[in-house]
Amino acid sequence: MLCWSVGGLPAENARAQTRQLLTPAAETSLKHVMQNYLRGPFGEEYKPGRFYPVFANLADSEPPQIIVYVTGPHWCGSGGCTLLVVTSTGTSDQIVSKTIGVELPVGVLPSETAGWHDLAVQTREGPKLLAFNGRKYPINAYSFPSRRVAGHPTETLAIPATATGIPLYD
């Protein structure tokens, strides 16, 4: 069992925390990428309720990656919602990883696997550690065994449980 605790940010600060990390131009660009990525197989718009983007230096490189938690009827199920990891080159954004079955909060651990920081996420089965395999994080957060972490890891809270997100479609 992964042992971790996450202190949440006050609800009124959660949205401000997320928005402070994205400039208006970056938010518009990311919205466009998310809208294109989140379309159905026939081009229909699966309109998620909200997305929760935050920069995180997962690969200890510049520019940092963007962790995006997506909610909505097509992106959440009984096990949780969808977590995306996006890389940005400044001129384009690319989805690196998609993990389903994630609940908030999401934390970034100091430990690394294959050169990327491990993620601590909540699932319906409790907290889990997601390790990068050299190409992506696990596709399903709750179908992989939990990994025990010695002691109490110090994680950076990326997306708190109290976050309110940003509407993807206005």
Q: What is the pLDDT along the chain (170 residues), one digit of tens a residue?
A: 333 333 333 333 333 344 345 677 777 777 878 877 777 666 566 666 788 988 888 998 778 888 999 998 888 888 899 999 998 776 777 889 999 999 999 999 988 999 999 999 888 888 889 999 999 999 998 776 556 444 445 568 888 888 888 887 77
Question: Residue 92 and residue 102: Cα distance in Å, rounded?
Answer: 26
Cα 81 → chain centroid: 10
Domain count, the chain: 1
In a domain, 60, yes or no: yes
Could you give the 3-state DSSP secondary structure of residue 117?
strand
User: What is the span of the domain harbouring residue 148?
Assistant: 11-38+49-159
Any domain includes 169: no
Q: Is residue 166 part of a domain?
A: no
Residue 164 lies in a domain: no
**Cβ within 8 Å of residue 90, ≥6 positions away:** 63
In a domain, 5, yes or no: no
Contacts of 123 (CB under 8 A, 6+ apart): 79, 80, 101, 102, 103, 141, 142
In a domain, 170, yes or no: no
Please tell me whether the peptide bond between 64 and the residue prior to it is cis, using omega within 30 degrees of 0. no
Evaluate whether residue 121 is within a structural domain: yes
- Distance (Å, rounded) from C-alpha 137 to C-alpha 56? 14
What integer pLDDT is reported at residue 33 of this predicted model?
Answer: 80
Is 44 domain-assigned? no
Tokens representing residue 55 in the block: 């920069």
